[in-house]
Amino acid sequence: MASNITAQMTAEGKDFDEISYGRAISSGLINLLPGASVTKFARPIAREVGKGAAMGAADITVQKVVDERRLPTKEELALNVGIGGGIGGGLGTALKAGAKRNLVVLQDGEQQLEEIQSMHLI
């Protein structure tokens, strides 16, 4: 929550009285959500889309309830679910794929180091 308030003040140039506390609270709460165990058997991309969509829905709901004392409209909810799902599907999948590649590189590097050490070259 504090990092979101700081981001609003520094990156967006907002004064303390202009801060969206709903946005700050939702960013803190969303980070507490577990990794959507219901979708653990779904395909990885669908899982990331679902997590992103859920985060988008939770984010706009908390913002509107806290800042404006109302629920989001259907349009606001649909927009945030779509954006969250799109970002979650694209970025989440890309980051996981990158992490897997790095793990393979590290494992290959470790194996190569062991082979070199077994030849007593180092």
Report mean pLDDT in 10-residue bins for the chain, 122 residues.
77 83 76 52 67 89 92 92 85 68 55 63 49
In a domain, 101, yes or no: no
Query: What residue type is assigned to position 106 of the chain?
Result: L
Full residue range of the structural domain in which residue 45 is found = 2-96
Q: What is the pLDDT, as a whole number, of residue 41?
A: 44
Long-range (24+ apart) CB contacts under 8 A made by 105-113 are none
In a domain, 114, yes or no: no
In a domain, 108, yes or no: no
pLDDT digits (tens, 9 = 90+) for 29-59: 766 665 544 444 445 667 778 888 888 899 9
For the chain, percent of residues with pLDDT exceeding 70:
62
Main-chain phi, psi angles of 33, to 5 degrees? -65, 135
Q: What is the pLDDT, as a whole number, of residue 22?
A: 82
Q: How many domains does the chain have?
A: 1
Q: What is the pLDDT, as a whole number, of residue 74?
A: 92
The span from the CA of 84 to the CA of 52, in Å, is: 4
In a domain, 102, yes or no: no
In a domain, 117, yes or no: no
Q: What is the pLDDT, as a whole number, of residue 39?
A: 43
| Length of the chain as a residue count | 122
In a domain, 115, yes or no: no
In a domain, 106, yes or no: no
